[in-house]
Structure 1
Amino acid sequence: MRRPIGKALATWAVATAVVTLLGPLAGLLWSALVPDVTYVVVQGEPLLADPEGQGPIGIDGRFAVIALVAGLVCGVVAYLFGGRGRDLPLLFALAVGGFAAAFLAWKVGHWVGLSDFERTVRAARDDQTVTGVADLRAKGVLSFWPLLAVLTYGLLEAIVKRLPADDRRKRRSGEADEVAGGELDLESAPAGGDVDGRQP
């Protein structure tokens, strides 16, 4: 009993680690793709110059797209290479690892250039505008990665299970009931004669 449990835990741990490690890479990609966002410094604090503008919305939108693509890829790869009989460990790995990866993507993307931004804000005077770094306002997009990964895996599993089972096997010549098929089919020959019914 311990061996299957240990194998399942190992599958979960490895898959979770692999998915989680994708998070920092996604964060670097996100920080490279985000549009510039302008802040206004008021009493030493950076405030969004246009909270409803295309910049902040574009930052959240780009993160959402990256998370959705990453979740889709993780779900497909886990299904194709995970092997059957390990569905539950892989599903849990996609859920836990996907959320951890999304969280790391957010933090890593936000940290890129953060020290320079904070230094600029400290040196800025009131009402001065500065360009900010990537940051999320819609934290709900963090769930996109694990959700789509799990849904993709489950959808693939459901599709494959609905496919008709191919239990037709090609008969090979030389089997007990058939020799090359056609008129040499021994099973169809009547007893005491050949396939045409002629007596020897």
Structure 2
Amino acid sequence: MRRPTVRTLRTWAVTTLIIALLGVPAGLLWAEISPKVTYVVVQGRALLADPEGQGPIGVDGRFALIALVAGLACGAAAYLAGGRGNDIALLFGLAAGGLAAALVAWRLGQHIGLDAFQRAVRRAPDGRTLTGAAELRATGLLVLWPMVAVGLYAVLEGLVKRLPAGDSRGSGAGEPDEVGGGELDLQSAPAGRDVDGRKG
């Protein structure tokens, strides 16, 4: 079994780091565009006022949309900028970096405004309704980013490999060449004879 080269490890590490850093703007965007969710305070705890309402579903949906777009962008960028011979390193980088970015986006997005919300819950009497910060309920969406990135990279790689190679065969003497829709034999006539073999 071949040991990974320094170039392979470097490509994997750089790809993972760059994609993981994208989790910061993704988390900020998620917190910004997520709909407000209404909670009811019961014995000092915040419970969802409508667990099946549009608010919680919208929060998960916004996260899925961001992860989908980010995964597509990362997969395409890695394929276009990576060059050939780096496939394994790039695939591992897309998987590890995408998962790390999703985790960063999740934790960061949920913590924006969380302290203020928790203070409001502690001071609120039972039955009080409050709007809270984004909270991801469908945590399975965390794997969407890396899956989409790896999947798109693999699809692009497969499409390029299926492209037919250009016809490198040249036409030489005695080979039919297409002229005006027909075929002409451009073979030279023997010395002293015309093309039909008759003596000149």
Q: Deviations over 1:64-100 (max 9, x none)?
A: 1110111111111111111011000000011111000
Q: Secondary structure at the match of 2:166?
A: coil
Describe the shift of the 1:169–1:32 C-alpha distance in structure 2 as closer, same or farther (beyond 3 A): farther
Distance 2:169 2:33 in 1: 53
Seen in structure 2, the aligned counterparts of structure 1 residues 128 and 69 have a Cα distance that, compared at 3 Å, is same
Q: 1:4: how far off?
A: 6.1
Shift in CA distance, 128/90, structure 1 to aligned 2, threshold 3 Å: same
Query: 1:34-72: per-residue Cα shift (whole Å, max 9, x none)?
Result: 001001111111100000100000000110111011111
**2:176 aligned residue:** none
Within a 5 Å distance, the mapping from 1:80-159 to structure 2 comes to 80-159=80-159
> Would you say 1:18 and 2:24 are equivalent positions?
no
Report the structure, 1 or 2, having the larger strand content.
Answer: 2
**Aligned-partner Cα distance in 1 for 2:11–2:131:** 44
Return the offset for 1:19: 0.6
TM-score by length of 1: 0.84
In the aligned structure 2, how far is the partner of 1:106 from the partner of 1:160? 35
1: CA distance, partners of 2:33 / 2:115: 19
- Structure 1 residue 190: deviation in Å? 5.0
Give the Cα–Cα distance (whole angstroms) in 2 for the partners of residues 72 and 169 of structure 1: 38
Indicate the percent of aligned positions where both proteins have the same amino acid: 59
AA at the equivalent of 1:135: E
Partner of 1:183: none
1:108 & 1:147 partners in 2: Cα distance? 21
Whichever structure has more helix as a proportion of its residues is 1
**Residue matched to 2:179:** none
Please list every run of 5 or more consecutive structure 2 residues that lacks an aligned counterpart in the other structure: 174-185
2:162 maps to: 162
Q: 1:169 to 1:139 in 2, by over 3 A?
A: same
Q: Deviations over 1:4-49 (max 9, x none)?
A: 6111000000000011000111111111110010011111111000
Name the counterpart of 1:46. 46
Two-structure CA RMSD over aligned residues (Å):
2.7
Q: Which runs of 5+ in 1 are unaligned?
A: 172-176, 178-186
Q: Distance in 1 between matches of 2:5 and 2:51?
A: 50
Q: Which residue of 1 aligns with 2:67?
A: 67
Total equivalences in the alignment: 188
- Distance apart, 1:168 and its partner CA: 3.7
| Counterpart Cα distance in 2 of 1:84 and 1:70 | 22
